[in-house]
């Protein structure tokens, strides 16, 4: 892990340890001006993690684990191919629940002509459904509806906008734990 460009701004009352390759902060952690270029051991904080001007490059892989919140401020980015994982703890048993975030459901290009590719990554096994919906919530097409056992693997589905008018559409990913809806723009059908 390269901490040469790392600035940790922490609350006045904190205790932090670096054990092995994992940095743990027992209160709040603020990460600024960092570029993750390879696999990096998790950043762990009991309360919160805030990141700004933080880049995960196409070869980077980083995990945040926090007790209450993870805040991604302007300047946080994940390049295509990079991996970012975020967990909020379950206080009852100390386990961490992984959630789908904006970096794990995308379409490209966006805006698009007649064809766009929707990519998604899920972290718990079970049924996964990916649909395209119009602005009033009607399903236009179900692109994927399968039981997934290979979690943490990126999936890609092509969407052909044949017969649709240009405008705003949405794509919805549903799992047992989460529902994520994102916008896409059909510019020239």
pLDDT tens for 7-23 read: 343 333 333 444 444 44
Residues constituting the chain = 189
Question: What is the average pLDDT across 55-62?
Answer: 90
- Tell me if the bond preceding 141 is cis, omega within 30° of 0: no
pLDDT tens for 67-108 read: 878 888 888 999 988 888 888 775 434 444 444 443 478 899
Alpha helices in 84-182 (DSSP H): none
CA distance 7 to 21: 17
102-186: what CATH class? mainly beta
How many angstroms separate the Cα of 3 from the Cα of each of 21, 30, 45? 11, 13, 17
- Tell me if the bond preceding 123 is cis, omega within 30° of 0: no
Domain residue spans of the chain: 7-98, 102-186
DSSP string, 50-64: EEEEEEE-TT-EEEE
- CA 59, distance to chain mean position in Å, is 15
pTM over 0.75? The answer is no
Paired strand residues for 9: none
How many angstroms separate the Cα of 154 from the Cα of each of 39, 71, 117, 139? 17, 24, 12, 24
Helices then strands, each counted (H, E), the chain: 0, 18
- 35 and 5 Cβ atoms separated by less than 8 Å: yes
pLDDT tens for 135-176 read: 878 899 999 999 988 877 888 999 999 999 999 999 988 887
- CA 176, distance to chain mean position in Å, is 17
């Amino acid at each position: 892990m390269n901490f040469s460009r790392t600035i940790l701004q922490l609350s006045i009352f904190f205790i932090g340890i670096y054990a092995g390759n994992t940095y743990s902060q027992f209160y709040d952690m603020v990460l600024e001006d960092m570029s993750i270029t390879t696999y990096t051991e998790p950043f762990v904080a009991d309360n919160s993690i805030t990141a700004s001007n933080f880049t995960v490059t196409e070869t980077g892989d980083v995990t945040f684990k926090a007790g209450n919140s993870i805040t991604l401020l302007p300047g946080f980015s994940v390049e295509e191919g990079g991996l970012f994982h975020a967990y909020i703890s379950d206080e009852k048993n100390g386990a961490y629940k992984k959630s789908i975030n904006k970096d794990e459901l995308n379409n490209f290009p966006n805006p698009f002509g007649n064809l766009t590719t929707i990519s998604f990554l899920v972290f718990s096994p079970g049924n996964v459904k990916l649909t395209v919906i119009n602005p009033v919530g009607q399903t236009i097409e179900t692109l994927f509806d399968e039981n997934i056992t290979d979690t943490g693997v990126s999936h890609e589905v092509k969407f052909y906008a044949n017969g649709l008018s240009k405008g705003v559409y949405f794509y919805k990913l549903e799992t047992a734990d989460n529902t994520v809806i994102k916008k896409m723009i059909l510019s020239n059908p």
